Amino acid sequence: MAVNKPIRVLLLGSDTELGEAIRDYKQVENEFQWFECATKDVVTSLEHDTLEYDIDFIIDTYSLRHAPENTYEEFKKLAQQKLLTLNVPVFMVSSVRVFSGDRNAAYMETDIPDAGSRYESALISMEQMLLGAERNIVLRTGWLFSGMHDDFVSSTIGLIQSGVNLAYQDNVIGSPTPVTDVARVTHSMIKQSYNGAENWGVYHYCCAEEVSWLGLVEAILATASQFDPRAQSEMDSINDSLAKEEGVTDIQRQSLSCRKIFNHYGIKQRSWRPTLRKLIKDLYKR
C-alpha cells in the first residue's frame, strides 16, 4: 500500500446498475481510480488484452447481469486465463439465487449452492473458479433494486402508470437490497482489504427485514399511492384477491445470514425501506 495513492480498480460491467452505483458512491476525493469496462466490451477487451492490468483490485459486476448469455462461458475462460494470473484480488458480486430456497433458515456462507437453472449454475461455476484461487472475494447479495432501467421497482411503477394489473406471488421470502447499499459495502471491503485486512472467500450481505414478493409490491404501492391514485386501487385489488385465497404452504426463503461480514469487516445491515421510498419519489418526479 502506498500512502495517498488512489486505489486502482478495474470495474467490469461499469454500465450496469450496480457498476454505476459502485463507481458513483460517495468517497473521499481521489480515493479510487476507476478503469471502466462496459458490458459490451468485456469479452473483446479480455480477448485483445486492452484492459488496464496495473491495478489493485478487479470488481466483477458483469457476471450478475450477464451470466445467462451465450458469451458468458467465453468470459469465464478468459477471466481464468487473463485475470486470475495477475495476482490481483477479484471481487465478484453474486446472488442469493445460487440457493434453491428450500431451506427454512437464512443461508450461511458454509452452505452449498444448490440452484439448478442456467443463470444460477453459471454464477455458481464462476464463484467456484474464483474461490479455487487465493485472495478473492465473492459477495452474495439479496434482491437488488435500483429504480433504474428494467429493475423490479421501476417496472412495477411503469405498470401502475400504464394501468396494467400487477401479477404477484407470495411464496418467496427474501431481503430487498438497493444497489447503493451494496456499493457502500463494496467500498468498505475493498478499502479494508487494501489497508491490510486478510479476509477472503465468501461473504453475504443483504438489507435487514425479510419480506415476501407481495410484501415488496405492497411497500412500492404504499409510497406510489402518495403520487398516483391508481396505486391505491391496485392495493385494494390485491387485498381483495388475497382474502379469497388459501394460505401458501410451499415457501421459498431466499435470505442470507450476514453475521460473518459483520464479524470480519464490521459492516452492519441497513433497512431497505428508506431507500425504496426515496427512489419511488424520484421516479414520480422525473
Ranges of each domain in the chain: 7-145+177-207+255-270
Nearest alpha-carbon partner for 173 in 104, 241, 119? 104
Q: What is the pTM (predicted TM-score) of this model?
A: 0.92
Beta carbons of 66 and 18 less than 8 angstroms apart = no
In 3-state terms, the chain is what percent helix, strand and coil (to 5)?
45, 15, 40
User: What mean pLDDT, rounded, does the chain reach?
Assistant: 90
Cα separation of 127 and 168, whole Å? 31
Nearest alpha-carbon partner for 63 in 47, 48, 43? 43
pLDDT-based confidence at residue 180 (cuts at 50, 70, 90): very high
Residue whose C-alpha cell reads 459502485 in the numeric block: 22
pLDDT-based confidence at residue 2 (cuts at 50, 70, 90): low
Q: DSSP secondary-structure letter at 107?
A: B
Beta carbons of 139 and 205 less than 8 angstroms apart = yes
Fold of 7-145+177-207+255-270: Rossmann fold (3.40.50)
Beta carbons of 103 and 111 less than 8 angstroms apart = yes
Q: Mind listing the pLDDT tens digit for each residue in 101-125?
A: 998 899 999 999 999 899 999 999 9
pLDDT-based confidence at residue 27 (cuts at 50, 70, 90): confident
Beta carbons of 266 and 134 less than 8 angstroms apart = no
Q: Quote the pLDDT of residue 28.
A: 74
142, 148, 150, 151 alpha-carbon torsion, rounded to 10°:
20
Averaged over 7-22, what is the pLDDT? 97
